[in-house]
Structure 1
Amino acid sequence: MPRNIRYTLLSLRDLLVSIGPFALLTIALLGLAYWWLDPNPPKRVVLATGPAQSAYDAFGKRYADALRRYGITVELLPTEGSSDNLELLRTGRADLGFVQGGSADIGYDDEESIVSLGSLFVEPLWLFYREDAAQRLNHTPTVASLPDLRDWRVNVGTAGSGVPRLFGTLLDVNRVERQQLQLSELAQTPATVGFLDGELDAVVFASAPESLMVQMLLQSPGIRLMDFAQSEAYSRRFGYLTPVVMPQGVVELSKNIPERDVRLVASTTSLLASAKTHPAILQLFAQTATSLHGGASWFNRAREYPSLEHSEVPLSPEAVRAIKNGPPFLQRYLPFWLANLIERMWLAMGLIIALALPLSRIIPPLYTFRIRSRVFRWYAELRDIEQRHETAAADGVSEQQLLDELAEMEAKVEKVVMPLAFTDELYALRNNIALVRNKLQRKG
């Protein structure tokens, strides 16, 4: 191997050895920060939705499709509705879930364990009734208020949906005893079948207008939707309720369905998550919510949702940033995994670099010391030979023995390889060896 290449390789080797401890320290700190911050999200999350063919079920499938692009599998967990979803979040069996405002019992303990990703859409309380039932029981084809439902057969949905709780609250403020109605708690699909067959007089459920059941019942002959004339009063009594109006003809313009504006009371549905859910997952769901729920619908204009209002639990900071500012800057130009890694590690990396920079000043002196130590270590042996020469007579050491040791040391020194920038140290050592030899020979 040519000497110049050999000198360069040795110099690089010494440089790497000098840098090594600091590189290992930096890597160890980065590894510790990575473990502590856990920047990469899990590949699988569980989303509690709702009954089959409900709006929750439909939206859940759309979220799953959207997050699949980022390599994240969203497992959809069918439930009875809001109350079930909240319980699943409390017990950790779901990471996220749709929960309707006012339909579930949210307590102070939930404020520490559950966060909100914002309100997604309004979910009216639909009260459909049969015209023939109204004519038979009230002698009029319309129902004007909840007290008109006395003695009716009304299905209010399963307890897990939260609708029985909400509807019961409305009955209470209208001073209608539950015993005055024949209430049932069938699931949405069998209840709708029984309702259309005349086995029930009315059905009550809360759902977004995208629900297939809502779309079908709004266009079924002989079925009417109750007009909540006191919707404004309900909203003043209960903060989680909002008065909304379904405009005339919005369902089917050609058939003018509905034939007049219908006033309804609605609650806002929020996407809630366990506080332990990975921040990157919360960010992705909030960004997806902006695209899925940001358009216009029957009850809101474009970009009104998702909203940071009407939250019954604390808002997630990731959701607030995503809804207010959109995708982070890096995600607009980099793959999600890389942008997320940099975004969540940049502060730690900055602190580590700030710590490593002052320490890196030690590297040049350490490198110099390592190179020069190849020469310096021979000076101890050279000095020992010189000192032994002074006491050679007393110790019984011959001059020739010391000269032989000096010659052996010189032969070894000649094999020492130094970077060109430090060869002056090597030649200085060889000159000093010659000086000691002359001293020994002169006295000899």
Structure 2
Amino acid sequence: MTRMPRTFASAWQQLRDLLASIGPLFFLVAALIVGAYWWIDPQPPHTVRMATGPEGSTYALFGKRYAEQLKAKGIEVREIATAGSAENLQLLREDKADVAFIRGGTDEYTDDDALLSLGSLFYEPLWIFYRKLPKAPPITALPQLAKLRLSVDTPGSGVPLLMERLFKANKLDMATLHIENLPPEAATEALLAGKLDAIVLAQAPQSRFVRKLLRAPDIALVDMAQADAYSRRFGFFSSVTLPRGVAELASDLPPQDVSMVALTTALLAREDVHPALRELFADAAVKLHGEVGWFNRARDFPNTRTSELPVSPEGDQAINGTPPFYKRWLPFWLANLVQRMGLLIGGFLVLLLPLSRVIPPLYQWRVRRRVFRWYALLREIEERVETGQETADSAHKRLDQLDERVNRVAVPLSYADELYALRNNIHAARKRIVAREPGPR
């Protein structure tokens, strides 16, 4: 009955020694991890601002889809309705938006913009619709628009600036043309009502205005005979073909292949946007833009080949790489934490290997200290007796007390020899003191 408490005390003491030996190393690693967490900041903000486009536009439609994708990850996307690509770019530059849809050719970028591409998402062809006139030849080149009443979209869309560059390449001055700046919906209605002769839209094929005009019987689409030349002169253009019947097979719309030029829309983000948010948007882009379209085959988009800006590592990984296996099983916040902190924690573990060598000596020192600390008292007793500062009777009492205390010291079995050595030394000290006495004690 008396052995259990002593055994328990010994085990508890050994555990305390072990924890005390590991403790400094543990707190060092914990401090490093906390510091690394603060420095890396692995968890992203819960809200992000996204500049989309006019209400009802393709940009606005995709903006809602991105918001749904990120909502499932606990991120709120605040959609900002704009006039279009040019305004979106301005909002990014002014730090009034975090991510935005930007059409190629909107503006020239500089290093001061501090923007990254998350991938090219889809083609936005330059749709030039015009009213068909009896006996009039089909329009196949921009100079044929010179005498027509033409709408080139609103300034915020970026289309007017783009058309100015194209007219200038054709030696046409926009100041001498009959130009209006109506939004897509108003321009479409004006063209159908005969108030305009032609309109220019830069929209994805999903646009309801494009589909409506393709079905209009008295409206035709410009077949650009010089599409390849434009793609060579302007790096942001691609020469594409609208296949016959792709809009509507039953009605054979369009009735023949149409040559066009297309801009590539990219998803841009500011460099200071949290990497986890950039990754979420890039992952959503892969899910939303990988399907077959009028101008592309399946998985042509998103891509990193046609980006005008450097592609972020997150965009490149999502589009061209293979996601780590743990992302399929772990919730977003935990997978993100593993990704951001995993490499650093691995480095800490490697650092722990040499540092862990100090634990055995430290543990040994703590255990032996419980034994060796009593040698100071034993030596003091002997010295006081030798110098006559303490009587033998008093020394014997103090040695008895010391022996009792040492008997209560708990050490692992591997260190028991040192404990017994101390007790033997106490007994030897007692014999020396007895030997110094003039007579029997």
Residues in 2 aligned to 1:402 and 1:181: alpha-carbon distance in whole angstroms: 118
Q: 1:262 aligns with which of 244, 255, 258?
A: 258
Q: 2:88 aligns with which of 85, 88, 91?
A: 85
Letter in 2 for 1:123: E
Letter in 1 for 2:62: F
Which deviates the most, 27-36 or 343-352?
Answer: 343-352
- Match in the other structure for 1:202: 198
Secondary structure (helix, strand or coil) at the match of 1:362 reads helix
Residue 428 (structure 1) aligned with residue 431 (structure 2):
no
Letter in 1 for 2:82: T
Residues in 2 aligned to 1:287 and 1:211: alpha-carbon distance in whole angstroms: 24
Task: List aligned pairs for 1:288-299, cutoff 5 A.
Answer: 288-299=284-295
Secondary structure (helix, strand or coil) at the match of 1:2 reads helix
Residues in 2 aligned to 1:150 and 1:87: alpha-carbon distance in whole angstroms: 30
Residues in 1 aligned to 2:424 and 2:322: alpha-carbon distance in whole angstroms: 73
The 3 A distance-change label for structure 1 pair 300 and 5 is same
- Match in the other structure for 1:50: 53
Residues in 2 aligned to 1:172 and 1:377: alpha-carbon distance in whole angstroms: 95
Q: 2:15 aligns with which of 3, 12, 31?
A: 12
- Match in the other structure for 2:118: 117
Which deviates the most, 264-273 or 86-95?
Answer: 86-95
Letter in 2 for 1:149: L
Residues in 2 aligned to 1:6 and 1:441: alpha-carbon distance in whole angstroms: 35
Is 1:82–1:104's contact at 8 Å kept on the other side of the alignment? no
Q: Deviations over 1:233-262 (max 9, x none)?
A: 111111111111111111111111111111
Q: 2:359 aligns with which of 358, 363, 372?
A: 363
Residue 325 (structure 1) aligned with residue 321 (structure 2):
yes
Letter in 2 for 1:53: G
- Match in the other structure for 1:440: 433
Letter in 1 for 2:118: L
Which deviates the most, 181-190 or 8-17?
Answer: 181-190
Q: 2:406 aligns with which of 413, 416, 420?
A: 413
Is 1:287–1:327's contact at 8 Å kept on the other side of the alignment? no
Q: 1:60 aligns with which of 40, 60, 63?
A: 63
Secondary structure (helix, strand or coil) at the match of 2:396 reads helix
Q: Deviations over 1:348-390 (max 9, x none)?
A: 1122112111111111121121112111111001011112222
- Match in the other structure for 1:239: 235
- Match in the other structure for 1:130: 131
Which deviates the most, 434-443 or 67-76?
Answer: 67-76
Unaligned regions of 5+ residues in structure 1, if any?
none
Residue 106 (structure 1) aligned with residue 109 (structure 2):
yes
Q: How far has the Cα of 1:288 moved from its partner?
A: 2.1
Q: How far has the Cα of 1:106 moved from its partner?
A: 2.0
Secondary structure (helix, strand or coil) at the match of 1:224 reads strand
Residues in 1 aligned to 2:324 and 2:188: alpha-carbon distance in whole angstroms: 45
Residues in 2 aligned to 1:104 and 1:200: alpha-carbon distance in whole angstroms: 28
Query: Which TM-score applies when normalising by structure 2?
Result: 0.93
Letter in 2 for 1:242: S
Q: How far has the Cα of 1:79 moved from its partner?
A: 1.1
Secondary structure (helix, strand or coil) at the match of 1:183 reads strand
Q: How far has the Cα of 1:157 moved from its partner?
A: 1.3
- Match in the other structure for 2:223: 227
Q: How far has the Cα of 1:284 moved from its partner?
A: 2.4
Residues in 1 aligned to 2:412 and 2:20: alpha-carbon distance in whole angstroms: 15
- Match in the other structure for 1:41: 44
Residues in 1 aligned to 2:7 and 2:433: alpha-carbon distance in whole angstroms: 36
Q: How far has the Cα of 1:338 moved from its partner?
A: 2.4
Q: 2:394 aligns with which of 398, 401, 419?
A: 401
Q: Deviations over 1:398-420 (max 9, x none)?
A: 22222232223223323323334
Once superposed, what is the RMSD of the aligned Cα atoms? Answer: 1.9
Q: Deviations over 1:68-100 (max 9, x none)?
A: 222222222111111111111112221111111
Secondary structure (helix, strand or coil) at the match of 1:103 reads coil
Residues in 2 aligned to 1:326 and 1:433: alpha-carbon distance in whole angstroms: 71
Secondary structure (helix, strand or coil) at the match of 1:109 reads helix
- Match in the other structure for 1:339: 335
Q: Deviations over 1:255-274 (max 9, x none)?
A: 11111111111111111111
Is 1:153–1:182's contact at 8 Å kept on the other side of the alignment? yes
Letter in 2 for 1:263: S
Is 1:235–1:265's contact at 8 Å kept on the other side of the alignment? yes
- Match in the other structure for 1:69: 72
Aligned residue-pair number: 434
Q: Deviations over 1:88-134 (max 9, x none)?
A: 11122211111111122323423xx1111221111101112223xx5
Task: List aligned pairs for 1:143-162, cutoff 5 A.
Answer: 143-162=139-158
Unaligned regions of 5+ residues in structure 2, if any?
none
- Match in the other structure for 2:178: 182
Letter in 1 for 2:391: S
Q: How far has the Cα of 1:141 moved from its partner?
A: 6.5
Which deviates the most, 322-331 or 26-35?
Answer: 322-331
Residues in 2 aligned to 1:104 and 1:159: alpha-carbon distance in whole angstroms: 12
| Identity, % of aligned positions | 49
Is 1:155–1:204's contact at 8 Å kept on the other side of the alignment? yes
- Match in the other structure for 1:97: 100
Secondary structure (helix, strand or coil) at the match of 2:248 reads coil
Is 1:122–1:299's contact at 8 Å kept on the other side of the alignment? yes
Residues in 1 aligned to 2:201 and 2:322: alpha-carbon distance in whole angstroms: 33
